[in-house]
Structure 1
C-alpha cells in the first residue's frame, strides 16, 4: 500500500499544477499525508482530485478540511448517506455481526453536522496502522486500539492494581479471560479503565465500577479450558472515537497466519508492567506444534484443545504476550468492515513468556459467540 501511495504522490507532483496549500478547491488543498479520505480513495482505487502548485508538492483536494471532524456534533446515522459499500458489509441478522457494522457507522464514519448540512466523518485509524513488530512489542498510538480496556482489583481507584486486559463489546460489557476475574492476592475484579493509552491516564473520569462478573459456565479455576469471561459495568462506558467496541469473530474471518496482541503487561519475562499500551504481531503455530508444547497435565487434563484454543508466538524471536496481558485481545484487521478490528482470541496462558518457538495459548472466540450474544445482546 505504501508503494501505491508514493507512486500516486509522484504522479501528482510531476503532472499537475493548481492551487496552493490552504486555498479552496471542492474541499481544501492539503498535503496527502494529512488527508485520510484521500488515502482511503487510493486504497479503494479511486482517482484523486489533484491540487498542486509550483513549489508545493504532494497536495490533493482534501474533502476532510471544512468537513466533519471527530469533535463535530454527531447526528442520527439515517440523516447521512450509507457508508460506502467498499468500506462495509451488509447486516445479516446475527447480533454480534450487526453490532460490528453499527459501531463502524457510529464511531469510524459517523454522521455529523457540517456548515452545509450533514456528512460522514472519517475517524479511521487502524486501517493504516502497520504493526511490524508485551515482549519485543512497540508502543501503540492514541486511538489505535479503541476497544482496549485495563482491568483492576481493589476498593479505591488511586490504589487499584490493574493486572489484566479486556475488550469493549458494548457500553456495558467487556470481554476478558476467566482467570482474570479473581486473584489470590487482590480478590475479584472491581474496576475497568477505558479510553486510555498510558497507565498514567487512569483517573475517575475513565474508570468504571464493575457490577457483575460472568465467567463462562464451563470455566474452572486452575484449569486451562473455557478461559473466557464477561464483566458488566455499573454505569454505561462513554463511547467515542477513542473508545468504542471491537468486532467478534463470527466465522467470516479465514485462518490468519498473523495476528496482533495488545496489552499493558510485562515487556520481558518477570519484568515490570508496561506504562504504555503495547502491540506485537504474532505468528500462528499449527495445532500439532501446540499439542506438542501443551501436553496433558494437571492444568490441561486433555492437553491442547484445538476446538477452543489457538496458539500464537514467534519461531525465531521472543515476540509474545506476558504477565499482565491476560484477558486482552488477539485481533486481526477486519477484511469486510473497514477500520475495525476483529477479536479472534483472548490471551490465556503460556509456559513462560518471551522465548522463541514457544507459543502462547489464546481462547478461541468464535465457539463462544452464541454464549456472548446471549449475555451482551439478549
Structure 2
C-alpha cells in the first residue's frame, strides 16, 4: 500500500526564478501584452525535490522569457495593454470546469498537466513547518471546495494534527510562481471535522475543513457539486489529481497541478484486483470505498491524497460532481490495479448534515 502522507513535502517558494537574460522592455502578465504568442506558456512540470524538501536548483529549467517569470512576457512599452480581468464572479454554478483553461496556451511537456484554472475547486492543504530553521508552507494533501468556507478532504491527511491549524489555498496552479492571471487565496482552518467512524484501517476516510473566513469567488476559485445519494458512476471516465508524485518509486512531487483521467471501477472487480496483490485473497474492500483507474502508468500517487475525483454530470457535461476522494493504492499506476477512493456518494447525507449543523448553505454544491 502506498503511504498516505507524502514522505517528501513540496515546499512552496515565494521567490521568482529568472535567468540571466534581461528584458528589453517590461515584464508584464501574459494578458497585458498585445504581441503575438504572448499567452504561450512552456510547461516543464517535473522539478526534482530533494530529501530536505526543497527544489533542486541545479536542475531547474523554466524556459523563462528574457529574464521574466514564465507566466510573464517581455513586452515593449507601446504593446503593453490594460488587463481585461475585471469581471465579478459568484458561487452560483458549482462544478463548472474550464476545459480549455484560462488565458494561457500551454506548450512543451503538457501531458498529464491541468490547464490553468481547469479545475477551480481543487485546493492545496498546507502546514507551516520548520525547514532548515526557516518557517515554510509545506504541501500535505489535496482537497475540494464545496462551499465558500468549507472543504472536503481525506481524513488521513489531517488526523495526525487534528487539533492544529492548517492553511488551505484556492486558485493555485503552478507553485513556482505567483504571477498567474488570477491571484491565489489562502485561508486558515478554524475547525476540522473527521468522520466519527474513521479508524486505523482508514475506513470512512473523509473530513471537512472549515475556514476562518470564506473564499471569494473568482474565475479560478469555484465550488464542485455533490452528487445525489445513490447515483452510480461505474464505468464513467473521470478526472482527478493534485500536486503529488508522478510515479511511486523515485517519483517527484509536481509543481503544476496534475490532470489524471481514470474510469470508475465497480466495487466487486476492484476488490478482486486488490486480492491479486500482496493484500491477498482474503482482502475485503470496505463499502466506504469506490475505485478508479487500472491503466498502466495512469494514476494518482503519493501526495495526491484528499484530491477530488470529478465526473461529468449527465445532464450537463460541462459541469462535474465530486464522486470520490483520493485515498490509497497498491503502488501507483500498476496495470489492472485501480486506486481506492472514498465513495463520496455514500457520504453525501453525512456532509449535508454537517453543513446544516454549521449553518452553511448547501446551494453552492448543489446541481442545478
* 8 Å contact from structure 1 (residues 127, 333) kept in 2: no
User: 2:259 maps to what in 1?
Assistant: 279
Considering Cα pairs closer than 8 Å and 6+ residues apart, tell me whether 1 or 2 has the greater RCO. 2
Pairs within 5 Å for 1:353-372 = 353-372=332-351
Number of positions where the alignment pairs a residue of Structure 1 with one of Structure 2: 258
User: 1:229 maps to what in 2?
Assistant: 207
* 8 Å contact from structure 2 (residues 101, 117) kept in 1: no
Matches of 1:73 and 1:223 in 2, distance apart? Answer: 45
- How far the C-alpha of 1:104 sits from its partner, in A, is 1.1
Pairs within 5 Å for 1:50-61 = none
User: 2:128 maps to what in 1?
Assistant: 154
Give the alignment partner of residue 248 of structure 1, picking from 222, 226, 229.
226
Matched, 1:169 2:146: yes
Matches of 1:103 and 1:365 in 2, distance apart? Answer: 21
User: 1:24 maps to what in 2?
Assistant: none
| CA 1:341–1:172: 2 relative to 1, 3 Å | same
- How far the C-alpha of 1:154 sits from its partner, in A, is 2.1
After TM superposition, the structure 1 stretch with the greater mean CA deviation from structure 2, 324-333 or 187-196, is 187-196
* 8 Å contact from structure 1 (residues 126, 340) kept in 2: no
User: 1:345 maps to what in 2?
Assistant: 324
- How far the C-alpha of 1:284 sits from its partner, in A, is 2.8
Give the alignment partner of residue 126 of structure 1, picking from 96, 99, 106.
99
Give the alignment partner of residue 104 of structure 1, picking from 93, 107, 110.
93
Matches of 2:117 and 2:335 in 1, distance apart? Answer: 30
Cα deviations by residue, 1:147-205 (Å, 9 ceiling, x for unpaired)? 00000122689612112000001111000001001348x99561111011112346996
| CA 1:320–1:343: 2 relative to 1, 3 Å | same
- How far the C-alpha of 1:137 sits from its partner, in A, is 6.0
Matches of 2:89 and 2:125 in 1, distance apart? Answer: 29
Matched, 1:303 2:318: no
TM-score normalised over the length of structure 1: 0.60
| CA 1:289–1:142: 2 relative to 1, 3 Å | same
Matches of 1:189 and 1:321 in 2, distance apart? Answer: 26
Matches of 1:342 and 1:127 in 2, distance apart? Answer: 19
TM-score normalised over the length of structure 2: 0.62
SS of the residue 1:247 aligns to: coil
Gaps of 5+ in 1: 1-68, 76-101, 109-123, 130-135
| CA 1:272–1:336: 2 relative to 1, 3 Å | same
- How far the C-alpha of 1:126 sits from its partner, in A, is 3.1
Gaps of 5+ in 2: 1-83, 103-109, 358-368
* 8 Å contact from structure 1 (residues 127, 338) kept in 2: no
Matches of 1:182 and 1:265 in 2, distance apart? Answer: 19
* 8 Å contact from structure 1 (residues 181, 188) kept in 2: no
Cα deviations by residue, 1:28-83 (Å, 9 ceiling, x for unpaired)? xxxxxxxxxxxxxxxxxxxxxxxxxxxxxxxxxxxxxxxxx8733569xxxxxxxx
Matched, 1:206 2:201: no
User: 2:36 maps to what in 1?
Assistant: none
| CA 1:155–1:318: 2 relative to 1, 3 Å | closer
Give the alignment partner of residue 191 of structure 1, picking from 162, 167, 183.
167
Matches of 2:151 and 2:177 in 1, distance apart? Answer: 19
Matches of 1:252 and 1:322 in 2, distance apart? Answer: 28
User: 2:294 maps to what in 1?
Assistant: 314
| CA 1:293–1:74: 2 relative to 1, 3 Å | closer
| CA 1:168–1:74: 2 relative to 1, 3 Å | closer
* 8 Å contact from structure 1 (residues 312, 360) kept in 2: yes
* 8 Å contact from structure 1 (residues 345, 362) kept in 2: yes
User: 1:20 maps to what in 2?
Assistant: none
Root-mean-square deviation (CA), in Å? 3.5
SS of the residue 2:239 aligns to: strand
SS of the residue 1:181 aligns to: helix
- How far the C-alpha of 1:310 sits from its partner, in A, is 1.1
| CA 1:144–1:255: 2 relative to 1, 3 Å | same
Give runs of ≥4 in structure 1 deviating > 4 Å: 155-158, 186-189, 201-205, 295-298
